[in-house]
């Protein structure tokens, strides 16, 4: 599968009283990385939202391995781990500048109608994105 990387510099506001990155910031970084993945395959979340399509999160599972600190440079790596035309599982790894694994995990999503949150099939509503997701899951 094809993996996409995004560089993140840890900001002071992202740390807690212990001087480490507050765990909820990894969700924000995952969203940044996921958005980058979608852009790299030729699509845009804002454009999809203008078309009335959103992508709600169904599940989040992160495992924290090592602390990140203010000033660290974190590489967020994301890939499409599972995809069936309806549900998407994105997998993530976050490494510091020394290459140490900080956190790993997954988020599970569907595509849905913006107003009703009724799930829709990506292969029917966005066949071009569907084809790209199948392609990047196959590439190594």
Could you report the per-residue pLDDT of 14-42, keeping only the tens digit for each?
Answer: 999 989 999 999 999 999 999 999 999 99
Asked about 123 being catalytic, the answer comes back as no
pLDDT attached to residue 37: 97
pLDDT attached to residue 76: 98
Tell me which of 7, 9, 11, 16 is the catalytic residue.
Answer: 16
pLDDT attached to residue 24: 96
pLDDT attached to residue 36: 96
Q: pLDDT-derived band of residue 137, with 50, 70 and 90 as boundaries?
A: confident
- Nearest CA among 138, 133, 81 for reference residue 104: 81
pLDDT attached to residue 43: 93
Given a contact cutoff of 8 angstroms between Cβ atoms, the answer to whether 9 and 75 are in contact is: no
Could you report the per-residue pLDDT of 73-121, keeping only the tens digit for each?
Answer: 999 999 999 999 989 999 999 999 999 999 999 999 999 999 999 999 9
pLDDT at 140 over 60: no
pLDDT attached to residue 138: 77
Given a contact cutoff of 8 angstroms between Cβ atoms, the answer to whether 54 and 108 are in contact is: no
Domains of the chain: 4-138 (3.10.129.10)
Calculate mean pLDDT across residues 50-64: 96
Q: pLDDT-derived band of residue 7, with 50, 70 and 90 as boundaries?
A: very high
């Amino acid at each position: 599968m094809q993996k996409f990387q995004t560089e993140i510099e840890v900001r002071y506001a992202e740390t807690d009283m212990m001087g480490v990155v507050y765990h909820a910031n990894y969700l924000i970084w995952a969203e940044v990385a996921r958005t980058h993945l979608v852009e790299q395959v030729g699509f845009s979340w804002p454009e999809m939202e203008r078309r009335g399509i959103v992508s709600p999160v169904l599940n989040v599972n992160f495992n924290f391995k090592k602390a990140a600190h203010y000033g660290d440079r974190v590489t967020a790596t994301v890939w499409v781990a599972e995809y069936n035309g309806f549900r998407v599982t994105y997998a993530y790894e976050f490494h510091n500048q020394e290459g140490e694994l900080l956190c790993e995990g997954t988020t599970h999503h569907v595509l849905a109608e913006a107003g009703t949150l009724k799930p829709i099939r990506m292969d029917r509503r966005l066949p071009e994105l569907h084809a790209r997701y199948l392609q990047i899951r196959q590439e190594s």
